[in-house]
């Protein structure tokens, strides 16, 4: 899973006023027709977090257990990498499948 990325959000042509966007719970005022920002993909939930220009690169969370970038929401939670969550779901599905085959 790639942690870093780049986002471009385009607004309608002829937009003379400043636009307001709600990105990751942050209110961003955009002048012009385009908003650009670096992004990270959270290693715990898989969500994308926008990092505003001129912001501290450490503005997003960082998990010291799995040593990956995480979103602000997951920074308050214990370490649970996204891959581990998927593996748990796969194990549950396999267990249910085996249980249903056993009942037949």
For the chain (104 residues), the mean pLDDT of every run of 10, in chain order, is 70 69 72 80 87 69 88 88 89 88 71
> In 3D, which of 69, 81, 79 has the Cα closest to residue 39?
69
pLDDT of the residue at 15:
60
pLDDT of the residue at 104:
65
Extract the tokens encoding 51.
């990092």
pLDDT of the residue at 93:
92
pLDDT of the residue at 2:
47
Exposed (0-12), middle (13-18) or buried (19+): which is 1, by Cβ within 10 Å? exposed
Phi, psi (degrees; rounded to nearest 5) at 24: 55, 35
pLDDT of the residue at 30:
75
CA-to-CA distance for 32 and 17, rounded, in angstroms?
Answer: 8
pLDDT of the residue at 92:
92
pLDDT of the residue at 59:
67
């Amino acid at each position: 899973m790639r942690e870093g990325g780049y986002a471009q959000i385009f607004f309608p042509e002829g937009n003379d006023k400043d636009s307001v966007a709600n990105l990751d719970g942050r209110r961003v005022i955009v002048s012009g027709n385009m908003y650009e920002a670096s992004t990270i993909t959270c290693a715990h939930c898989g969500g994308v977090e926008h990092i505003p220009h001129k912001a501290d690169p450490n503005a997003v969370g960082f998990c010291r257990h799995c040593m990956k970038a995480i979103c602000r929401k997951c920074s308050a939670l214990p370490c649970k990498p996204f891959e581990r969550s998927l593996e748990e779901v796969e194990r549950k599905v396999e267990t249910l499948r085996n249980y249903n085959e056993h009942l037949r």
